[in-house]
Amino acid sequence: MGAGASAGVEKALSVAKELLGDKLLKGEEEIEVEKAFEGKKAIALYFSAHWCPPCRGFTPKLAEFYKADLQGKGLEIVFISSDRDEAGFKDYYKDMPWLALPFSARDKKAALSKKYKVQGIPALIIINPEDGSLITADGRSAVMKDPKGDKLPWIPPTFKESLGEKFLKVKGDDFEEVGIDAIKGKTLGLYFSAHWCPPCRGFTPKLAEWYAGVKKELGDKFEVIFCSGDKDEAAMKSYFKEQAGNGGDWLCLPFDAKDNLDPHFEIQGIPTFLIVDPDGKVINKGGRSLVSNSATAAEFPWTPPPIADVEAPEGIEETPSLILFLDNCPKEAQKSILDTITPIAAEYAKAAEPELLFFSSTSSGSISAQIRGMCSIESAGQSFKKDSSPDEGGPPKLTRSISSERPTIVLMDIPDNGGFYVGKMAKELDGSGVKQFIQDYKDKKLERKQLSSNN
């Protein structure tokens, strides 16, 4: 074995131990974890539980495919249990032909769920055995479409491959086909919707009106593509015409390509409206909020602010999120605090996948109230004083102290099985309290509280 190959093996073993620990189960026996990765094209982390009906339906099919073809073609599966006790785990695992993470390794299970953003079960996460990087989070679909593993390790198509090169456009009472030049170099709004979906039908006219307004100013800089979830081509085309009639004179993926982008962007529900750059990089996941907030062409390409409104909490379920509860602060105090914290949030926002998101609650709303209730936070009264000696010629300034209770900050870590942490801003309101709170969270010095059971 050459030095390069040896180094690659050592790296794979190191990754395996970091992700899964030293030992795995193979039936009732323990084996060294490196045997799980040795000579494999891909590793599938199978998050499942006996109490979950969809899991019980999928597991026998996966076992059949694994024994017939997938194992022989280089796939290893590791069962990551969400069962409620070890007896349930053992009863479920006894009929599985692959490996399992020991039930006692709950810390590893939680870390894996967080790392690969597992939100529900069954989930089949396909990873690269060399470095643990994600290949696809939608392993279930990959396996069901290719049960013999001919395309193993199921590397997803690129954005451009999924998008294709042909689109439909309404022309009078009919349709015309246009090519890739229709979107070349443009920022895109991807609209995942279907006529049978009541929330979609309610949102579509608003989107069409908003599009018509910004399109006048942006011209060839921006285009929307309808990605249909309709059940047949006639329904898709009827709905597409309806969109055009409301002012949404945009493009549409052909019916045979209508679902191509769903797995690429991990679309979980509709209506979903994403803003992406010409290469498919997501600019804004919360496109619906752009419409509801009447975002203007002057704000194009609508990059989210470092501190987003908690009433549109995009990403909060997948990424640890810090929330500033400023509801009871005067407007000038809110601005002062947000101006101070924004540079801190902006540093995190620079990353392709930020490790921490920031939100603020500046007025009462349904999401704000829901989070307060989940975290048992009361809406406490606060009072701010004006500086008695403002700068010459300037407006009165707020003091850097609060006479009663300081604003509450909450760090919700939903990927960590619904953990959360509560703190207060420093009296000086200079950002030091927020910085220290984040550092204490990273150093595991904060008291962890639990939202609810999260499997």
How confident is the model over 98-114, as pLDDT tens digits?
999 999 999 999 899 98
Does residue 155 lie within any of the structural domains? Answer: no
Residues 387-443: tens digit of each pLDDT: 444 444 444 444 333 334 578 999 999 888 789 999 988 877 788 889 999 999 999
Same structural domain for residues 95 and 169?
no
Question: Worst-scoring range by mean pLDDT, 142-151, 213-222, 329-338, 445-454?
Answer: 445-454
Give 101's contacts (C-beta < 8 A, 6+ positions apart): 20, 21, 24, 25, 78, 79, 80, 81, 108, 109, 112
Same domain, 8 and 116: yes
Q: Is residue 100 domain-shared with residue 122, that is, in the same domain?
A: yes
Stretch 47-58: mean pLDDT: 95
**Mean pLDDT of the chain, nearest integer:** 88
Which residues have a Cβ under 8 Å from the Cβ of 88 and sit 6 or more positions away?
49, 50, 51
Task: Give the CATH number of the domain where residue 223 resides.
Answer: 3.40.30.10
Asked if residue 154 belongs to a domain, the reply is: no
What is the pLDDT, as a whole number, of residue 343?
96
- Which of 273, 299, 325 is where one domain is finished? 299
Give me the pLDDT at residue 365, please. 86
- Residues 20 and 138 reside in one and the same domain: yes
Last residue of a domain, one of 261, 282, 299: 299
Number of domains in the chain: 3
* Last residue in a domain, options 275, 299, 323: 299
The pLDDT tens digits for 61-83 are 999 999 999 999 999 999 999 99
- Non-local (6+) Cβ contacts of 134 within 8 A are 116, 125, 126, 127, 128
Mean pLDDT of 164-175: 95
Would 325 be classed as within a structural domain?
yes
Has this prediction a pTM greater than 0.75?
Answer: no
Q: State mean pLDDT over 43-62.
A: 96
Q: Is residue 228 part of a domain?
A: yes
pLDDT confidence tier of residue 5, bands split at 50, 70 and 90: very low
Q: Which residues, at least 6 apart from 214, have a Cβ–Cβ distance to it below 8 Å?
A: 222, 295, 296, 297, 300
153 lies in a domain?
A: no
Q: Do 113 and 224 have their domain in common? A: no
319 found inside a domain: yes
Q: Are residues 278 and 321 in the same domain?
A: no
Give the span between the Cα atoms of 403 and 383, in whole angstroms: 6
Q: Is 332 or 190 the better-scoring residue by pLDDT? A: 190
Sheet holding 42-48, edge to edge: 29-32, 23-26, 99-100, 75-81, 42-48, 123-127, 134-136
Percent of residues, the chain, with pLDDT higher than 70:
90
Instruction: Look at residue 184 and give its three-state secondary structure.
Output: coil
Check residue 58 and give its pLDDT: 96
Same domain, 315 and 442: yes
Given a cut of 80, whether residue 382 has pLDDT beyond it is no
Asked if the structure places residue 337 within a domain, the reply is yes
Q: Which helix (H) or strand (E) holds 161?
A: helix 159-163
Q: Are 233 and 158 in contact (CB under 8 A)?
A: no
* Torsion of Cα atoms, 281 then 288 then 434 then 402, to 10°: 160
**Rounded distance, CA 250 to CA 168, Å?**
9
pLDDT tens digits along 254-301 = 999 999 999 889 888 899 999 999 999 999 988 998 998 899 999 999
Q: Assign 12 a pLDDT band (cuts: 50, 70, 90).
A: low
| Whether residue 284 is found in the same domain as residue 329 | no
- Where do we find the tokens 């597409």? 240
292, 226: one domain: yes
Within-domain flag for 150: no
**Residue 8 sits in the same domain as residue 139:** yes
pLDDT at 268: 81
Domain, as residue range, for 267: 160-299
User: Residue 10: which pLDDT band, with cuts at 50, 70 and 90?
Assistant: low
Residues 378 and 258 in one domain: no
Asked whether residue 204 falls in the same domain as residue 337, the answer is no
